[in-house]
Structure 1
C-alpha cells in the first residue's frame, strides 16, 4: 500500500475570501504609500463633506429662530402697520388669526427694544402719543350702552405725557351724529410715578366730558366708560423708540402707540 504525501496548498493558489472591511483596510494601507503632493485633498475633502452635511441639518425651530433674528426692526414695523389696517385699533375686536399675527409682531419688536430702561430716559417718553392698537375691546352690551353702534363714533385716542408734572392726560375723541358734534371728548387726568427701570404706576385723578350735550349722553354710563378707558394701575413700557411705543398694563393688555404732533 503506497502512501501519498499531502502538501498544504501554496499561498499563491489559495482562494481566501476578502470581506468589504478587509478591502477598505487594504485601500487605506495603500494610501499611506501615496504622495500627498500628487493629490493633497483626496482624504480631506471626504471628511469635510461629512462635517458639512451634518452641520447643515438643523431643526425647524432653529431655522425659524434664524429667520426671526435676520428680520429688521424697520421690516417688523412695516408688517405691523400693514396688519393693523382696517381693524379700528382693535377696539371692537379682531379675528383670532389677525390677533395672533399682531401679537407675534409685537413680540418680535419687544425682543429688539432699543430702550430697555425707558424710565431712565424720560425725554423719549414725554409728548403726545396716539393709540393705534389695543387688546381692550368694547363688545356686546357695553358697546350698545355707550351708543357706539349707532349715533356715537369713536375718534382718536390720545395720550399726553407731561414729564415735568408727572401727569398723563388721556383724551378720547367723539363724533355724535344728529347733534352736529364733531369734537366732543372724554378727558382723563392721572399722575404717574416710576416703579422700575421699565414701568410706572398710574393713579386716576379726575375726568371730564365736553360739551355738555355729550355729557348728557354718557352720564348714566360714566362708570362703564371709566371701567374701559381708565389707565389706572401698573404700566410697563416694553418697547420704545423715536416714534413707536409698546406697553402692557397689569392685566396683560397690550397697547401700541405712535408719536403724534396732536395735543
Structure 2
C-alpha cells in the first residue's frame, strides 16, 4: 500500500538520523536506545517482506551489509565494554556482514570487524559460517565453522603485510543459534538474536 511505503520512508529517515547522532562507537556498544528500538518495531510491523527466506526474496538478502546499530552490542563490542581500561584504546572502524548464496536452504555468512588498537594498529576479525532454515521462512539457524584475525595495518604501518590467521572450529564444537530476519527491503535489514538483541544493517 502507498501509505505503508510513505510510512516506511519516513521511519527510515528518522531511524538513520538518530543512529547518526549516536555515532558508530555508541551505536554498536551495549546500550539500548529505546527511541531507536521503537522505530524499528514500527518498521517490523509493516515489513514489505514478511517471509524473507522465501526463494523470491533471497536475492534481497545477498550482498554486503554494514551494521549500524546493535541494541545490546555485538560479541566483539561486549567483550571490549567488559574491560573499561580498553574502552578508550580500541576504536571500531567498521562492522559488516556479507551473505552469499550457497544452496537452496543455505547461505554463506561472513561477519567482519575492523578495529584500531592503540599502539598495535588496525586489525580485522572475521567469523565465517552458514544460515540454514526449513519450512519457516523468517527464522534461520546460524553456525560458524571458522574464525580469522589479520593485522591490516600493524603499528600504523600500511606497508607491512601480515598473513591472515584462520582458526577452524571442529564440527562437534560448533554451536547453533537462532536468527530472525524481522525486516528486509532494498536498503535496510533488521535481525533479532535468540536473546532478542536487535541488529540494524544498511546495504553497502
Q: Once superposed, which parts of structure 1, at least 4 consecutive aligned residues long, lie more than 6 Å away?
A: 68-71
Residue 177, structure 1, aligned to residue 81, structure 2: no
Residue 210, structure 1, aligned to residue 154, structure 2: no
Extract unaligned runs of 5+ from structure 2: 156-174
Cα distance, 1:253–1:232 mapped onto 2, change above 3 Å: farther
**1:118 counterpart residue number:** 52
**2:133 counterpart residue number:** 194
| CA-CA distance at 1:250 after TM superposition | 1.1
Q: How does 1:122-141 map to 2 (within 5 A)?
A: 122-137=58-73, 138=77
Which structure's relative contact order is higher, taking Cα pairs within 8 Å and 6+ residues apart? 2
| CA-CA distance at 1:90 after TM superposition | 2.5
Extract unaligned runs of 5+ from structure 1: 1-67, 215-230
Q: 2:98 aligns with which of 154, 160, 177?
A: 160
**1:81 counterpart residue number:** 16
Deviations 1:206-260 (A, max 9, x none): 101112969xxxxxxxxxxxxxxxx951111111000100111111110100000
Deviations 1:61-106 (A, max 9, x none): xxxxxxx979611100011111112323523344x7xx22111100
SS at match of 1:72: helix
Aligned length: 173
- The RMSD of aligned alpha carbons is 3.0
How high is the TM-score relative to the length of structure 2? 0.74
Q: Point out the structure with the larger strand share.
A: 2
| CA-CA distance at 1:136 after TM superposition | 2.2
Q: Which structure is larger by alpha-carbon Rg, 1 or 2?
A: 1
Q: Point out the structure with the larger helix share.
A: 1
